[in-house]
Chain A
């Protein structure tokens, strides 16, 4: 029985002691291929990670206030959460949007909402990450249109769109169109940005949601890297150069509870991507470096004794930093109950600042490097992840594996096992199945009013009354034609949104041409 307790969720057996041997010695250097020890030779001595707190709710006005609050408190980059209608291509007045407007993020219907969202914020001076996938092309177009209006040089603006549709089918659920046309829109974005917005990170290939859906650490990086391969191959097939678009690929991982397995996971992911990119034909080192954002694990937060989550978030954030993350979001301790209050969001940010400025872990590069245990664990995570990737390759790659439901089934099986382990008390969750107390659950301190759908609808009515509707109609028709002809859709979306076409109108145009995906 006892030995069962020393196995990670990924099934890696942990030994009593690790001693030096040939397999756990690491003579690599940070900033050099395969980047296991970090993508920079000096890591945080040169530049700290970007403290980037994900936020967005209600209307653009309300979210703008939260961004200004976060910036005033030392956040270094913005990260926008959109509501579900925005993510799935419905305007706020659409029947499917009922009950969802402004709930899990900010409601954005048109360029006017984006102007309000970034009111008083100069887009050339900050970087913005947008968690947006099926409608990423439209949100990026809004952003570009606003940057132009502000007089910014769009060759200089920087930020990230998530734009990772494969994990939406596999784990997160905000897809619209079938995989093939979705992949085509994504490569259109790659192509457009490499010419026009060269500093933009055109995709954030995400393991975060795969993990949140219940995968293991090994599955998280295996499926993410398999997806990265699929995007790269699609871009190469379109005639794009991996040495160019490869520099603008970024990644997004979860920081979960098992401290050392997480650190090993980040190190293994870097090494694996370097090898994978090289095999795909990359010669430019920058196209082989895995740069990633991390968010602490939302599903690890408990509603019970919610303050305990501050300790969980701290450990997870520490693993991300010791694993060499480029940017980090720390969760609010109250997020199993509601969206984070201002106070909880501040504590989350302070947690990062304490790690950065008080703990000393940033003073040297890859502090875990050379640990017999962590090096061995890095090797094992890598070896197991390659096995999954080989399996997916044999199925014909990520798109086929997802269409066959392979990733979804693997994730569901792992998540059921995790739940059973908790219920059998094989896995301890403090305050839930051990050290539980009777407690009154506090009423939600933060909630979103349903009336904002009415507000958004009024804005939409006003917009449609004020804009040049025949011009919008002409823009939509040329977008439709480009979508049909296989020409790059990005210039057409930008033109349409500059003339105040709505997000829903763009998405409906694509729905007409590409159809909708049914799981």
Chain B
């Protein structure tokens, strides 16, 4: 029997808007996942360390402050350094489409914008993990 999908929901940078992060965390739990929420003001380093310690399948980052073009690439670099090839980096917030395209190109997973159904996010994470989990 496979263990449940484990997800780290993270707020990175100085952004204090955590309504979305909390809603997603609860929705993913309701969808049967194990969810760890980091709380506010994490650095990319703290997030990657927590992801390693908690042995998660996915990291979901919520950003509404406009700092996404700084934070996602940093996270990706750190994850590569740690060899976390079977961990999904996904997220959401107020992120313009053209930025989403650029971030996806460099290897960030799907990024979700306001108005997304939480079930769609849960399904996306489950599918990804099923295809990419290395154990």
- List the interface of chain A (C-beta within 8 A of B): 84-85, 87-88, 90, 96-100, 103-104, 168, 172-174, 212-214, 299, 302-304, 336-338, 412, 415-416, 419, 423, 429, 432, 441, 443-444, 447-448, 450, 519
B118 near A99 (CB under 8 angstroms)? Answer: no
What are the 6 closest A-B residue pairs judged by CB atoms, nearest first?
A173-B16, A99-B70, A99-B67, A84-B14, A103-B66, A444-B96
CA distance A337 to B115 in the complex (A): 12
CA distance A429 to B17 in the complex (A): 21
Determine the residue in chain B with the shortest Cβ distance to A431.
B115
A423 near B94 (CB under 8 angstroms)? Answer: no
CA distance A201 to B27 in the complex (A): 41
A85 near B96 (CB under 8 angstroms)? Answer: no
B118 near A448 (CB under 8 angstroms)? Answer: no
The answer, among A99, A443, A444, for a CB contact under 8 Å with B13, is: A99
B95 to chain A, nearest CB (A): 9
- List the interface of chain B (C-beta within 8 A of A): 13-19, 22-23, 26-27, 39-41, 43, 65-67, 69-71, 94, 96-98, 113-115, 117-119
Which residues of the other chain, A, contact B39 by a CB distance below 8 angstroms? 519
- Given A100-B65, A173-B15, residue A336 in contact with residue B117 (CB < 8 A): no
- Given A304-B115, A432-B115, residue A88 in contact with residue B94 (CB < 8 A): no
A104 near B66 (CB under 8 angstroms)? Answer: yes
- Interface of A, helix, strand, loop or mixed by DSSP: loop
Determine the residue in chain A with the shortest Cβ distance to B17.
A173
A173 near B27 (CB under 8 angstroms)? Answer: no
A337 near B94 (CB under 8 angstroms)? Answer: yes
- Given A98-B70, A448-B66, residue A338 in contact with residue B13 (CB < 8 A): no
- Given A103-B67, A441-B97, residue A173 in contact with residue B115 (CB < 8 A): no
A100 near B67 (CB under 8 angstroms)? Answer: yes
Q: What would 20 A/B residue contacts be, using CB atoms closer than 8 Å?
A: A97-B14, A99-B66, A99-B69, A103-B66, A168-B16, A173-B16, A173-B40, A213-B18, A213-B19, A214-B19, A214-B23, A303-B113, A303-B114, A304-B115, A336-B114, A412-B22, A412-B23, A415-B22, A415-B23, A419-B27
Determine the residue in chain A with the shortest Cβ distance to B68.
A99
The answer, among A88, A336, A415, A423, for a CB contact under 8 Å with B19, is: A415
B98 near A443 (CB under 8 angstroms)? Answer: yes
CA distance A97 to B13 in the complex (A): 8
Which residues of the other chain, A, contact B67 by a CB distance below 8 angstroms? 98-100, 103
Which residues of the other chain, A, contact B96 by a CB distance below 8 angstroms? 337-338, 443-444, 447
B132 to chain A, nearest CB (A): 27
Which residues of the other chain, B, contact A337 by a CB distance below 8 angstroms? 94, 96
B97 to chain A, nearest CB (A): 5
B118 near A419 (CB under 8 angstroms)? Answer: yes
Which residues of the other chain, A, contact B94 by a CB distance below 8 angstroms? 336-338
Determine the residue in chain B with the shortest Cβ distance to A415.
B19
Interface centre among B19, B26, B70 (most CB of A within 10 A): B19
CA distance A172 to B16 in the complex (A): 5
CA distance A447 to B113 in the complex (A): 17
B71 near A99 (CB under 8 angstroms)? Answer: yes
A423 near B40 (CB under 8 angstroms)? Answer: no
Which residues of the other chain, A, contact B66 by a CB distance below 8 angstroms? 99-100, 103-104, 447-448
- Given A99-B67, A103-B67, A443-B96, residue A302 in contact with residue B114 (CB < 8 A): yes
A sample of 16 more A-B contacts (CB under 8 A), given A168-B16, A415-B19, A416-B23, is: A85-B14, A96-B14, A96-B43, A97-B14, A100-B67, A104-B65, A173-B40, A212-B19, A213-B17, A213-B19, A416-B27, A419-B118, A423-B119, A443-B96, A443-B98, A450-B70
